[in-house]
């Protein structure tokens, strides 16, 4: 008997997400070409959807599942094959067959040949009558699995679009960080010149000059590190697009002015219809339940019909003599297991365990989806506040750099004050750029978590 387990996760799914007002507006149903407005990003996603190897592999999995449906459907119909054969048989004289042949005449005065040839040709049919709907159940299970592979493809689509967008925004972030390093290096070069002039005027020491030189060398090292990260990020995008390394077309200047899209989560129950991974898990669960049903029916008797119709004779010349050479056979068999059912029981237990496993997978997918959306919505709110405060910090430190540099030129500030102000301003700008990238990536991930991208 199959195990019955209540689906508590699906039955108790909350009415709304944490701290979210109930609304059926859902950003997950927006087509990806409307959600992403950067034309360079849209072109990259378009190319990825045509050439990505993982997606192409998934499409072949769909073809495999489709072929399995055709195979299961074929088992519902009779199997008919054409048959041609030739052979020879020599029976011992002192056997019932040999003695019978020796005393038998084919025609008056013409004995049976010895050895005896046999030539035949005709049709052979075999058909398992699906009296318990076992074969139909197996076909339904195969169809459910096929549909799950289609949903699996949709999930790959959604993940691929999100991954391309996420890497694209990371690339723009690295571009802007590199620009900030260049600006910072320009400031350090000017400060170094001032320090050298002040040293000559005995207003500063060699230590100040060395400190500014060290800071400039450190920034130059960071520049090359960022360039390497940019190269790797470009190639990561190229790999997603299924192409060899080449430059990624992009516009970095507008990155900091991008306003993240407003996200509407809808209600949690919409995840069941929108997220392809949930639908895939649901279909795999349905397929597993049907496998249990089919495995149970293995305990029932099976009815098979075998039929043969053709021509048969010991000499090819007699094959055309009708109706004497016509041969046919019709057999119906009803057979069922009586003893030693251990193999069938093991098959049933395996199917039952897989059904339970599929239910747990389904529940886990639903739970993970809800928590994912809840976490990301909280994250985007906190990132908005974080970005606002970092922008204030960056502006204040930028203002401080000008003041510190002016005081240093007039010998009213120590070189360490200049260095610390510049370092703090650099860190704040870098963190501001990273905050912008995290904002945009979080929006992309929420879009994917709501089931967006594959439609």
pLDDT at position 194: 74
- Token code pair at residue 436: 């912008």
Residue ranges of the domains in the chain? 8-77+132-301+346-450, 80-129+303-335
Instruction: Judge if the upstream peptide bond of residue 276 is cis by omega within 30 degrees of 0.
Output: no
- Which CATH topology does 8-77+132-301+346-450 take? Outer membrane efflux proteins (OEP) (1.20.1600)
Mean pLDDT across the stretch 303-327?
A: 87
Tens-place pLDDT, residues 351-374 = 999 999 999 999 999 999 999 999
Q: Please give the CATH topology (third level) of the domain spanning 80-129+303-335.
A: Outer membrane efflux proteins (OEP) (2.20.200)
Token pair recorded at residue 147: 């549909």
pLDDT single digits (tens) 254-263: 999 999 999 9
The answer to whether residue 232 scores a pLDDT higher than 80 is: yes
pLDDT of residue 322: 86
State yes or no: pLDDT of 179 exceeds 60: yes
List of residues 6+ apart from 265 with CB closer than 8 A: 17, 20, 26, 27, 373, 377, 446, 450
Angle at 312 between CA 310 and CA 317, to 5 degrees: 120
Task: Look over the chain and give the mean of its residue pLDDT values, rounded to a whole number.
Answer: 88
Q: What is the pLDDT of residues 188-216, one digit of tens each?
A: 887 778 778 777 777 566 777 787 788 88
Indicate the pTM of the whole model. Answer: 0.86
147-155: average pLDDT: 96
For residues 268 and 13, the answer to whether their CB atoms sit within 8 Å is yes
Backbone angles phi, psi at 201, to 5 degrees: -90, 10
Over residues 267-281, the pLDDT tens digits come to 999 999 999 999 999
Query: pLDDT tens for residues 27-47?
Result: 999 999 999 999 999 999 999
CB atoms within 10 A of CB 170: 20
Pairing of strands 79-89, 105-107: unpaired
Has residue 455 got a pLDDT over 60? yes
Query: Which tokens in the block code for residue 201?
Result: 């005027």
Let me know how long the chain is: 455
């Amino acid at each position: 008997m199959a195990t019955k387990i209540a689906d508590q996760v699906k039955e108790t799914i909350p009415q709304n997400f944490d701290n979210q007002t109930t609304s059926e507006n859902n950003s997950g149903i927006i087509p990806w070409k409307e959600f992403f407005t950067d034309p360079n990003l849209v072109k990259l996603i378009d190319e990825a959807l045509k050439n990505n190897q993982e997606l192409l592999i998934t499409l072949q999995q769909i073809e495999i599942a489709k072929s399995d449906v055709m195979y299961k459907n074929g088992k519902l119909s009779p199997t008919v094959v054409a048959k041609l054969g030739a052979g020879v048989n020599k029976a011992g004289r002192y056997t019932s067959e040999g003695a019978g042949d020796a005393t038998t005449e084919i025609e008056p005065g013409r004995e049976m040949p010895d050895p005896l040839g046999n030539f035949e040709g005709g049709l052979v049919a075999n058909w398992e009558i699906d009296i318990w709907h076992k074969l139909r159940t197996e076909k339904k299970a195969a169809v459910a699995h096929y549909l799950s592979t289609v949903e699996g493809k949709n999930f790959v689509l959604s993940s691929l679009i999100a991954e391309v967008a996420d890497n694209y925004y990371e690339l723009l972030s690295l571009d802007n960080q590199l620009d900030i390093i260049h600006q910072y290096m320009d400031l350090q070069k000017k400060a170094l010149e001032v320090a050298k002039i002040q040293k000559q005027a005995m207003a500063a020491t060699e230590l100040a000059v060395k400190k500014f030189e060290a800071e400039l060398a450190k920034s130059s090292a960071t520049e090359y590190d960022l360039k390497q990260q940019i190269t790797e990020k470009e190639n990561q995008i190229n790999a997603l697009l299924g192409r060899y390394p080449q430059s990624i077309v992009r516009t970095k200047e507008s990155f900091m002015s991008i306003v993240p899209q407003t996200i509407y989560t809808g209600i949690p129950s919409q995840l069941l219809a929108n997220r392809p991974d949930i639908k895939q898990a649901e279909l795999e669960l349905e397929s597993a339940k049907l496998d249990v049903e089919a495995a149970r029916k293995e305990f029932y008797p099976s009815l098979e019909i075998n039929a043969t119709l053709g021509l048969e004779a010991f000499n090819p010349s007699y094959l055309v003599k009708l109706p004497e050479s016509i041969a046919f056979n019709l057999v119906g068999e009803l057979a069922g297991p009586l003893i030693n059912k251990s193999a069938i029981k093991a098959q049933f237990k395996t199917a039952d365990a897989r059904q339970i496993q599929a239910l747990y997978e389904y529940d886990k997918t639903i739970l993970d989806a809800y928590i994912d959306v809840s976490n990301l919505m909280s994250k985007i709110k906190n990132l908005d506040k974080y970005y606002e405060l970092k922008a204030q910090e960056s502006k204040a430190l930028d203002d401080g750099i000008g003041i510190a540099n002016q005081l240093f030129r007039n010998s009213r500030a120590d070189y360490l004050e200049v260095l610390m102000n510049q370092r703090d301003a650099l860190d704040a700008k870098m963190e501001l750029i990273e905050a912008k990238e995290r904002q945009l990536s979080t929006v992309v991930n929420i879009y994917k978590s709501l089931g967006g991208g594959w439609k």
